[in-house]
Amino acid sequence: MVRCVSLFSGAGGLDVGAIQAGASIVACVENDPDSAETLRLNSLAAHSDGIIEADVQTIDFRHWRDGQPTILIGGPPCQPFSKNGYWVKNDNRLIENDPRNMLGQYLRAVQELQPNGFLFENVESIRHPTNIKIFEKFIAEAEALGYACTVYRANAADFGVPQKRKRVFVFGIKDAHKPIPLPHATHGDPAKPELMNGFTPYVGVGAFIERFDKDIFAEPQEDASAGTYYHELVHVPAGKNYIALSKLERYDGRTFRTGGRFWNFLHKLHPDEPSITIAAQPGPWVGPFHWNNRRLRVPEIAAIQTFPEGYRFAGNRRSIQKQIGNAVPSLLGKHMVSHLIEHL
């Protein structure tokens, strides 16, 4: 069995995927107390001392270097990517020297652990022109450490996740002669039949969350009926957002100029379609909303992120939303880690 060290583990979405792919988690490094407790509640590490609540900068990763097949997984926080290349201090040394930048810490972990392969995950905007030099520097330094790198832009819905969520992955294989091939998607958008090519259609969110639409799962926070835009929310058709209001007949509420609001404003789920991206810190009228005109419940957002049913989360409601919203969908993680292990 392949051993796995996880960095920036959060609530464990990618870790769950790694376990489902056949890896054994020997260490999860997570600095947030609530997230670390979530990892403990679900016993994600193979041993009880494998959940390490600490700043990644304090960890010596040589501790897990023992010659056994090992992979490193994780997605560093994306906050440092707001300015182009400010942390690049010296082309002749690793980029961990800027303490604000966790990409450098990821590379330090690679250097110290010397895993057979690594899986790096981050937001799609890491390849935005503002950040591309940072990303290219990361790839160059990983290659300098002896890893052939494959960059893959994934949409979670393409792998059976009931959510359109785009992320960038980097697969690194130690001492490989060439980068590994891209993963093969399993699902396609039925709205684009010319691109289906035999794929299974995208999975609708209803199959994942309808069982939680019972009073036993109700939460006080879900009630939006006293809010500013509830009348408008009620009239938004399932699968649409605020833009649809301006096209309704015999509608007596407010309408909004197209482009005048973010696209997820008043967005409502349709049970037969994937969800939009689950946000870590949504505003009060940021979707997705349930088609029954309420905010989503914890087990619903967890199911949309494909956490196993019954997965437990520590912290208050705001902390739990953040943990789930920041996670890699577990099913997507399973596909990505499986692809990595297959090519070690």
Residues forming the active site: 78
Handedness of CA 84, 87, 93, 99 (dihedral sign): negative
- Beta strand pairing call for 166-174 and 147-155: antiparallel
DSSP 75: -
Record the tokens describing residue 198, joined without a space. 């035999």
The identity of residue 321, as a single letter, is Q
N-to-C CA span, the chain: 12
The identity of residue 250, as a single letter, is R
Q: Where are the beta strands (DSSP E) in 47-136?
A: 51-53, 70-74, 117-123
Q: Please return the burial class of 229, using the count of CB atoms within 10 Å of its CB with bins 0-12, 13-18 and 19+.
A: middle
Record the tokens describing residue 117, joined without a space. 């392969």
Residues 171 and 26: their CA atoms lie apart, in Å, by 20
Record the tokens describing residue 249, joined without a space. 């007949």
Query: What phi and psi values does residue 117 have, to the nearest 5 degrees?
Result: -160, 160
